[in-house]
Structure 1
Amino acid sequence: MIVQMKPQATRTEFDRITAFLIQKGFEIKDVSSQNIMVFGIIGDTKSLNATDLEAFEGVSQVTRVSTPYKLASRSFKKTDSIIKIRNGLEIGGDKFIVMAGPCSVESYENTYEIAKRAKASGATVLRGGAFKPRTSPYAFQGMGVEGLEILRKVADEFDMAVVSEIMSEDMIEAFEPYVDIYQIGARNMQNFHLLKQIGARTQKPILLKRGLSSTIEEWLMSAEYIMASGNPNVILCERGIRTFEKYTRNTLDISAVLAIQELSHLPVVIDPSHAAGKYSMIEKLSMASLAVGADGIIVEIHPDPEHALSDGAQSLKLDKFDHMMDSLKKLAEVLDKEI
């Protein structure tokens, strides 16, 4: 349920109704602005009668939210959320954020070379895997904490933010000094214990990738787990879903961006690298991401993809990344977007 107070409502009236609801066992999420007081009621609200709540002085309107996800719902928050990262960097609004880097951190020198080119071309977030969930137990699993240390050191040299994937709740404290954005991978989208723990134990932004075969509602419900646990800073990431098509690694559901914008206030970015699995498609899919209204992209780049330790086939060479960024900047001018 969402309760909107009258424009002339006082803080005393606001406190009276929220105290009543808290006493009944409900949680209150205050999303008031300078102009109006609004809050959400979290919990099993079937027993609450909207008419009874409207009897409280100062209450203007009580709306029952029909979707199972409350905090992530557009009904709960009409305006788009803008997620603050670091040093004034934000995701959402009029900016199109580019996150770029290697699939896996391989060495300081390799990461430095990648970050230098990425930043020079306009990327502001350095992505890189330190712990890698791989389909095969024999594949390269990442450098671990050493990889996180490299990401942080290199990112600081170029004034970039860091995003890296976390796989279990026992790693949250290890990640905290190094990352600016925690990434929840597609295979962990419904790891509800991890979602609750990360929502409760950090306020840093969470990049939540869509599950391999998840519906949009299931994706938003996973975001709800994080938000209901105390962290409202969720960024959704469409990375392609599994269909019957085998030519590409996954099928990019680009319409999901528009669906999310109708259903939710959360920003959404696209991962064209995992969607296609082919470097030849990355630039055009990135252009489509900008055109459809996504808030950014996260792409894999590498100076020598043929010898990359992970996902070389979907990694752009650095010169191709430069070309893609030039193309994106030209399109952004037409769309009044900033890169």
Structure 2
Amino acid sequence: MIVVEMAQNSTGIDLERVRESVERSGKSCRVVSGREASYIVASDGTDTSGVSALPGVRKVNAVSCCYPLASRAVRPGSRPVEIAPGVVLGEGDPVVMAGPCAVESRDQLLETALAVRKAGARILRGGAFKPRSHPYAFQGLGSEGIALLKEARKASGLPVITEVMSPEEAEWVAPHVDILQVGARNMQNFSLLKVLGRLDRPVLLKRGMAATVEEWLQAAEYILAGGNDRVILCERGIRSFDQNTRNTLDLGVIPLLKSLTHLPVVADPSHATGRRDLVLPMSLAAIAAGADGLLVEVHCDPGAALCDGPQSLDPEEFSRLMTAAKRIMEAVREEGTPWERMLAR
């Protein structure tokens, strides 16, 4: 594929001139207008001999992968994602997002929110809409849950992340939260991804339960192609044959993604393992592997949780995780992650 990156001072006329030049070569192309830069993405075989000399063109990239806007071939460096003032994913120490799998009540959410903030979490997670395998399981509080998340954000000072499952949900929820989450089951919900590409909100995209890395990055490309460049990838475990854990946390994918894409990468050890006793060690391993953040389930009373209690930490357990995580962060800061050392060779 060919990706034409426009200069920041380019005009709409410049962009249209480049588009017409590419289309005259007989190839289809797509204009992507991002917050930081605009691109024209064209199919293979486009003759670009005259394109690079046109006014407003910064660079012309030939890319062999099928996720050009997500690739380091187009953007060599990492692209941090700002969530709120002072909260940036992909820059500095890993950011921990913590809270209940599902918003159940005002007291439950506020107690948990204040506890995770005290322990050092930077973002509050909480599900208002819950996609469940069992149709009779608790499906979340919906709009009431969103209202409670807004209240918890005000009380704790933490930005919030919540999952959306449909284009309609994404559009009305976006103004009320700080990050929109796409769950594993919706990774290839292309109608949802297209809408998220048009919204001015960071998007956390979880890996599908049986998705390849290429499929995952192509899903991210849908959002980027819509003009939304604030995409975060989340490894949440993939389905395997072993029943001792809920899923298999693919730690190797973290440094792999760092070599392929500029997008921040976080890990969800809660869904990956399904066991609270494994959440702490796998969190530390993810940080050591180079993760830009963690997504951890915390509940003020896991035994009474309406959703995923066995994998949820209580506030005391989460506090221990954060203490241990800080030690790993210090070591990583001093030595550098394996993928950073690899790229420095």
TM-score, shorter chain, exceeding 0.5: yes
- Give the aligned partner of residue 128 of structure 1: 126
- Give the aligned partner of residue 245 of structure 1: 242
- Give the aligned partner of residue 260 of structure 2: 263
Report the CA distance shift for 1:30/1:196 in structure 2 as closer, same or farther (over 3 A): closer
Shift in Å at residue 11 of structure 1?
5.9
Shift in Å at residue 148 of structure 1?
1.0
Amino acid at match of 2:214: E
- Give the aligned partner of residue 282 of structure 1: 279
Amino acid at match of 2:66: P
Contact between 2:193 and 2:219, CA under 8 Å: does it hold in 1?
Answer: yes
- Give the aligned partner of residue 325 of structure 2: 328
Describe the superposition over 1:98-128 as per-residue Cα deviations: whole angstroms up to 9, x where unpaired. 0000011111111111111100111011101
Matching residue within 34, 42, 51 for 2:49: 51
Give RMSD over aligned pairs: 2.4
Amino acid at match of 1:254: L
Report the CA distance shift for 1:114/1:57 in structure 2 as closer, same or farther (over 3 A): closer
Alignment of 1:28-107 (within 5 A): 28-29=31-32, 40-44=39-43, 46-54=44-52, 56=54, 62-107=60-105
Report the CA distance shift for 1:126/1:31 in structure 2 as closer, same or farther (over 3 A): closer
* Cα distance in 1 for residues equivalent to 2:281 and 2:39: 41
Contact between 2:3 and 2:41, CA under 8 Å: does it hold in 1?
Answer: no
Shift in Å at residue 32 of structure 1?
11
Alignment of 1:146-157 (within 5 A): 146-157=144-155
* Cα distance in 1 for residues equivalent to 2:56 and 2:305: 62
- Give the aligned partner of residue 169 of structure 2: 171
- Give the aligned partner of residue 185 of structure 1: 183
Shift in Å at residue 31 of structure 1?
8.2
- What residue ranges of structure 1 are gaps of 5+ in the alignment? none
Matched, 1:300 2:292: no
Shift in Å at residue 244 of structure 1?
1.4
Secondary structure of the equivalent of 2:272?
helix
Shift in Å at residue 89 of structure 1?
1.4
Matched, 1:223 2:242: no
Shift in Å at residue 131 of structure 1?
0.8
Contact between 2:276 and 2:310, CA under 8 Å: does it hold in 1?
Answer: yes
Secondary structure of the equivalent of 1:53?
coil
Identity level (%)? 43
Report the CA distance shift for 1:248/1:59 in structure 2 as closer, same or farther (over 3 A): same
Report the CA distance shift for 1:249/1:48 in structure 2 as closer, same or farther (over 3 A): same
Shift in Å at residue 3 of structure 1?
4.6
Matched, 1:142 2:140: yes
Shift in Å at residue 59 of structure 1?
6.9
- What residue ranges of structure 2 are gaps of 5+ in the alignment? 335-345
Matched, 1:291 2:288: yes
Amino acid at match of 2:324: S
* Cα distance in 1 for residues equivalent to 2:193 and 2:8: 36
Describe the superposition over 1:164-185 as per-residue Cα deviations: whole angstroms up to 9, x where unpaired. 1101111123312321000000
Matched, 1:314 2:311: yes
Amino acid at match of 2:78: D
* Cα distance in 2 for residues equivalent to 1:50 and 1:128: 47
Shift in Å at residue 56 of structure 1?
4.7
Report the CA distance shift for 1:167/1:40 in structure 2 as closer, same or farther (over 3 A): same
Secondary structure of the equivalent of 1:261?
helix
How many pairs were matched up?
327
Report the CA distance shift for 1:177/1:208 in structure 2 as closer, same or farther (over 3 A): same
* Cα distance in 2 for residues equivalent to 1:331 and 1:220: 28
Secondary structure of the equivalent of 1:126?
strand
Contact between 2:33 and 2:227, CA under 8 Å: does it hold in 1?
Answer: no
User: TM-score normalised to the size of structure 1?
Assistant: 0.89
* Cα distance in 1 for residues equivalent to 2:59 and 2:166: 42
- Give the aligned partner of residue 203 of structure 2: 206
Describe the superposition over 1:21-72 as per-residue Cα deviations: whole angstroms up to 9, x where unpaired. 2223644457899xxxx8643132x342133334558978643110011111
* Cα distance in 1 for residues equivalent to 2:324 and 2:318: 10
Contact between 1:31 and 1:77, CA under 8 Å: does it hold in 2?
Answer: no
Report the CA distance shift for 1:112/1:2 in structure 2 as closer, same or farther (over 3 A): same
Shift in Å at residue 193 of structure 1?
0.6
Amino acid at match of 1:261: K
* Cα distance in 2 for residues equivalent to 1:170 and 1:62: 36
* Cα distance in 2 for residues equivalent to 1:124 and 1:193: 30
* Cα distance in 2 for residues equivalent to 1:153 and 1:225: 32
- Give the aligned partner of residue 272 of structure 1: 269
Secondary structure of the equivalent of 1:313?
helix
Shift in Å at residue 87 of structure 1?
2.5
Describe the superposition over 1:178-237 as per-residue Cα deviations: whole angstroms up to 9, x where unpaired. 21000000000000011101212x110000000000000000000001111121110000
